[in-house]
C-alpha cells in the first residue's frame, strides 16, 4: 500500500479529463488530491466519481480554484460556506478532508500522521520594501492579477489574509496537539517562500502562501510536505525534509504524450531520507 499524490487536476479542461480518465486503478493505494481539481461542484464530483473507485482511499485539500464563485452567481454559497459545502461533498464520498481527524498511515514505509491542511495565503511572499496594502498593485505593475481577487470571496472574513490567519492559528493548535509521529503535511499552497520559484511571473508569489508556515516542517515534525498550486512539479529537500510539488497542471504545460500515471508522485514509502540536504 503506497501513498500517492497529484494536485491541480483542473478538469475543466476536457483534455485533462481525457488523460486522467486513463489513470491505472491502484486499489491498494491511497491518493492525495492537492487542490485545484476544478472550479465547480460538478468538477469535484467528476474527480471523486472517476478516481475514487480506483484507489482505496482519497485525501482532499481545497485549492483556490475550488472556492471560485462568479460575481454574477447570486445563488451559490461563497467563502467559508462554500468550503464547508465542498467538505461535505467529499465526506459523502468517503474522502478525508482538512476538517477530519488526522489519520495514521500504516501502509508501506514508516508510520506517519496524514494531515490535510487548508491555509490559503496572506500576500506576505513579497519583498520587504512592498507594504501589504501595496502588494496587489506591485504585482499588477508587471501585468499580473490573480483571478482570486475577483472570484475568491473570503466571507465571513473581511479579507483573504484574515481567513488565512484564522486557518493558520487553528491548524497550528491542532498540529501541536497531534500525536508525536512524523507528519505528511498536505496543503495546496507552498509552505515556504524559497520554494516559490516563478521565473516568468515572479510577482505572482503574493498569491502563493504565508510566511507563517516557513518553519512548520520542523516545528511540527514533517516527514514529507505535499503541495501544488505552482504547476511546476518537482522535489526539494529542506533541513532533510522532502517537499513535493505534485501539480498535474494545464494541458499546455505538459508534453502531449505524458500519461497521468507518469504524473503520480509517490509520497510514502518514497525515496530514502536525505539528511542535511
| 89 exposure class (CB count in 10 Å sphere: 0-12, 13-18, 19+) | middle
Which residues face 266 on adjacent strands?
Answer: 4
Instruction: List all residues 6 or more positions away from 240 whose beta carbon is below 8 Å from its beta carbon.
Output: 273, 274, 275, 276, 277
On the CB side of 185, CA atoms within 13 Å amount to 30
Q: Which stretch binds Fe ion (CB under 5 A): 7-15, 23-31, 80-88, 142-150?
A: 7-15
Instruction: Please tell me whether residue 64 binds Fe ion under the rule CB under 5 A.
Output: yes
Q: Pick from 67, 65, 57: which is nearest to 103 by CA?
A: 57
Site for Fe ion, residues 226 to 265, rule: CB under 5 A: 229
CB contact at 8 A, 81 and 57 = no
Instruction: List all residues 6 or more positions away from 182 whose beta carbon is below 8 Å from its beta carbon.
Output: 110, 111, 112, 113, 221, 222, 223
Q: How far is the CB of 9 from Fe ion (least distance, A)?
A: 9
Instruction: Please tell me whether residue 39 binds Fe ion under the rule CB under 5 A.
Output: no
Cβ proximity to Fe ion: between 8 and 245 the closer is: 8
User: Which of 63, 109, 116, 190 is in the footprint of Fe ion by CB under 5 A?
Assistant: 63
Q: How far is the CB of 229 from Fe ion (least distance, A)?
A: 4
Q: How far is the CB of 268 from Fe ion (least distance, A)?
A: 24
Cβ proximity to Fe ion: between 36 and 153 the closer is: 36
User: Which of 8, 29, 66, 245 is in the footprint of Fe ion by CB under 5 A?
Assistant: 8
CB contact at 8 A, 250 and 12 = no
Enter the DSSP assignment of 254: S
Pairing status of strand 234-238 against strand 241-245: antiparallel
CB contact at 8 A, 12 and 269 = no
Cβ proximity to Fe ion: between 237 and 250 the closer is: 250
Cβ proximity to Fe ion: between 37 and 113 the closer is: 37
Cell, residue 264: 503520480
Q: How far is the CB of 35 from Fe ion (least distance, A)?
A: 6
Q: Which stretch binds Fe ion (CB under 5 A): 1-9, 37-45, 107-115, 264-272?
A: 1-9
* Contact string (CB under 5 A) for Fe ion, positions 192-231, x = contact: -------------------------------------x--
Residue nearest to Fe ion (CB): 36
Is the omega angle on the peptide bond into residue 269 within 30 degrees of 0, that is, cis? yes
Cβ proximity to Fe ion: between 29 and 66 the closer is: 66
User: Which of 11, 19, 23, 36 is in the footprint of Fe ion by CB under 5 A?
Assistant: 36
- Interacting residue ranges for Fe ion, rule: CB under 5 A: 8, 36, 63-64, 229
Amino acid at each position: 500500500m503506497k501513498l500517492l499524490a497529484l494536485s491541480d487536476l483542473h478538469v475543466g479542461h476536457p483534455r485533462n479529463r481525457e488523460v486522467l480518465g486513463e489513470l491505472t486503478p491502484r486499489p491498494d493505494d491511497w491518493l492525495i488530491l492537492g487542490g485545484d481539481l476544478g472550479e465547480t461542484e460538478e468538477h469535484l464530483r467528476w474527480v471523486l466519481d472517476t478516481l475514487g473507485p480506483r484507489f482505496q482511499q482519497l485525501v482532499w485539500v481545497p485549492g483556490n480554484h475550488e472556492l471560485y464563485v462568479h460575481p454574477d452567481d447570486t445563488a451559490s454559497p461563497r467563502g467559508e460556506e462554500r468550503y464547508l459545502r465542498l467538505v461535505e461533498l467529499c465526506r459523502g464520498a468517503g474522502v478525508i478532508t482538512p476538517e477530519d481527524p488526522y489519520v495514521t498511515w500504516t501502509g508501506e514505509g514508516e508510520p506517519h500522521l496524514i494531515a490535510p491542511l487548508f491555509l490559503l495565503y496572506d500576500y506576505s511572499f513579497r519583498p520587504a520594501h512592498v507594504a501589504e496594502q501595496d502588494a496587489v498593485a506591485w504585482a499588477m505593475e508587471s501585468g499580473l492579477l490573480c483571478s482570486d481577487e475577483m472570484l475568491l470571496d473570503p466571507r465571513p472574513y473581511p479579507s483573504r489574509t484574515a481567513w488565512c490567519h484564522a486557518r493558520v492559528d487553528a491548524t497550528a493548535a491542532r498540529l501541536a496537539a497531534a500525536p508525536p509521529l512524523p507528519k505528511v503535511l498536505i496543503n495546496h499552497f507552498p509552505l515556504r517562500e524559497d520554494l516559490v520559484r516563478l521565473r516568468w511571473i515572479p510577482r505572482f508569489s503574493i498569491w502563493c502562501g504565508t510566511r507563517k508556515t516557513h518553519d512548520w516542517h520542523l516545528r511540527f515534525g514533517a516527514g514529507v510536505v505535499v503541495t501544488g498550486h505552482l504547476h511546476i512539479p518537482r522535489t526539494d529537500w529542506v533541513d532533510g525534509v522532502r517537499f513535493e510539488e505534485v501539480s498535474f497542471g494545464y494541458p499546455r504545460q505538459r508534453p502531449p504524450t505524458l500519461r497521468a500515471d507518469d504524473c503520480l508522485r509517490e509520497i510514502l514509502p518514497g525515496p530514502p531520507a536525505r539528511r542535511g540536504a
